Amino acid sequence: MDFDPTDEQRMLAETVNSLLDKRYDPSSRLALLDSELGWSRELWQQYAQLGLLGLTFDEQYDGAGMGAAELATVMESFGRSLVLEPFFPTVVLGGTLVSEAGTPEQKAAILPKVAAGELLLAFACSERGSRWSQTDIGTTATRAGDGWTISGQKIAVAGADSADTLIVSAVTPDGIGLFLVDAAAVTIASYAMQDGQRGGDVLLADAPAELLGTDTDAIDHIRAVIDVATAALCAEAIGVCERMLAMTVDYLKTRVQFGRPISVFQALQFRAADMYVALEQARSMALLAGLSLAGDDPAARRQMVRAAKIQVDLSSRQIGQEAIQLHGGIGMTMEYPVGHYFKRSAVIAKTFADTNELIELVGAEGGLIG
């Protein structure tokens, strides 16, 4: 029983961290955040060269053939530096959807380009008024000759602003299908998300579409990919929370009031200790989510991933709120990094489901113990 990273994972983390340490100092990040694109195409190419953009793809599609643990390694590092490039929408969501549901031809056409950094993807599934449901949606797909057309609206699509190809969920006669849609064929209202990452709403009006894979009901694929993505978000959140705790600890030790570093005050020590407890409980569950993805039983896997996200979200909220409180006024400023971490963790907690939704789902499936 060994939960430490393997040598390979350690090397991967070192490689990614050394690049990010050089390129993601707070002022460079602030500059990127304010740039028109909101991220760096040049860094994107570096990720491609490091093999990160095809990390989990099969080797026959120019991927590195790695698994959930390596993806978690990269996500944790990205969380630590609050990376802005659209890795999550393109690689984790888009790439995994194509790997999971696509035909061999679609995989061959899409995955090598993603791995090379030449193609950006986004997953358009959420809709106004549907909250977290993947099935209660209004976007519909209609057969048109050999292909399909899609009409409807999607919201809060991470990476929609720069995606070349969208993967859109839509109602088909058989259920919920997944479709490849050229971004040029839809209207995209772009914006920055609350954490500064870019995205947008998508308006589809008889947009020409190609069915991803062969199933006109792809809900099982969607759920399986959300499991993988949720475990990845858990790992990212661990990186985010680690940094918030580390920054808070540094601040408590260096901030002097009443002639002493404020770390001497027990009221603050205990709050920092509780942040550590929350972080370690979240880390345990993020690890467990990764381990459970290797399991055979999809229902058990889903329960554990959802349970992990509940713990991670509860811990992130506590750590984030306390990090701001313990920093005092400086934590409220955009200039200081801790607030950016807090914002990212708040967005992670509202991606695919929120805590209440997850608690309800895990409870309804019979819980975890007994």
Partner 1 sequence: MDIALGKEDLAFAERMRSFFRSEIPAQIRLKGERGEHWSREDYVAAQQILNANGLAVPHWPVAWGGQEWSALQRHIWAEEMALAHVPAPLAFNAAMVGPVIATFGSEELKQRFLPPTANLDIWWCQGFSEPNAGSDLASLTTRAVRDGDSYVINGQKTWTTLAQWADWIFCLVRTDPEAKKQLGISFVLIDMKTPGVTVRPIRLIDGGYEVNEVFFDDVRIPADQLVGEENKGWDYAKFLLGNERTGVAGTGIIKSRITRLRKVAAQTSSHGKPLLEDPLFLARLTRLEVETTALTMSVMRVLANEAKHPGRPDPLSSVLKLRGSELQQEATELLMEALGPDALAYRESAAAADGFTALPDGAVDAMPTYFNWRKASIYSGSSEVQRTIIARAILKF
Which residues contact partner 1 (rule: CB under 8 A)?
1-4, 245, 249, 252-253, 263-264, 266, 269-270, 272-274, 276-277, 280-282, 284-285, 287-288, 291-292, 295, 304, 307, 310-311, 314, 356, 359-360, 362-364, 367-370
Q: Which is nearer to partner 1, 160 or 237 (CB)?
A: 237
Name 153's Cβ contacts closer than 8 Å, sequence gap at least 6: 127, 128, 138, 139, 201, 202, 203, 204
Q: Are 118 and 110 in contact (CB under 8 A)?
A: no
CA distance 99 to 97: 5
Taking the least distance from each CB to partner 1, the nearer of 191 and 276 is 276
Instruction: Provide the minimum distance between the beta carbon of 300 and partner 1 in the complex, in angstroms, as a whole number.
Output: 9
Give the 3-state secondary structure percentages of the chain, helix then strand then coil, rounded to 5. Answer: 55, 15, 30
CB of 320 to partner 1, least distance (A): 17
Q: Minimum distance between the CB of residue 64 and partner 1, rounded to whole angstroms?
A: 25
Q: How far is the CB of 67 from partner 1 (least distance, A)?
A: 15
Q: Which is nearer to partner 1, 104 or 370 (CB)?
A: 370
Question: From CA 167, how far away is CA 27, in angstroms rounded?
Answer: 34
Closer to partner 1 by CB, 216 or 303: give it: 303
Q: Is 65 exposed, middle or buried (0-12, 13-18, 19+ CB in 10 A)?
A: middle
Nearer residue to partner 1 within complex by CB, 151 or 284: 284
Q: How far is CA 2 from CA 68, 229, 236, 250, 291, in A?
A: 16, 24, 21, 30, 12
Contact 95, 87 (CB under 8 A): no
Considering the complex, state which of residue 250 and residue 335 has its C-beta at the smaller distance from partner 1: 250
Nearest-angstrom CA–CA distance, 240 and 282: 12
Please report how close the Cβ of residue 275 comes to partner 1 at its closest, in angstroms: 9
CA proximity to 152, closest of 172, 162, 163: 172
At its nearest, how many Å lie between partner 1 and the CB of residue 74? 21
Quick one: tokens of 96? 């995994």
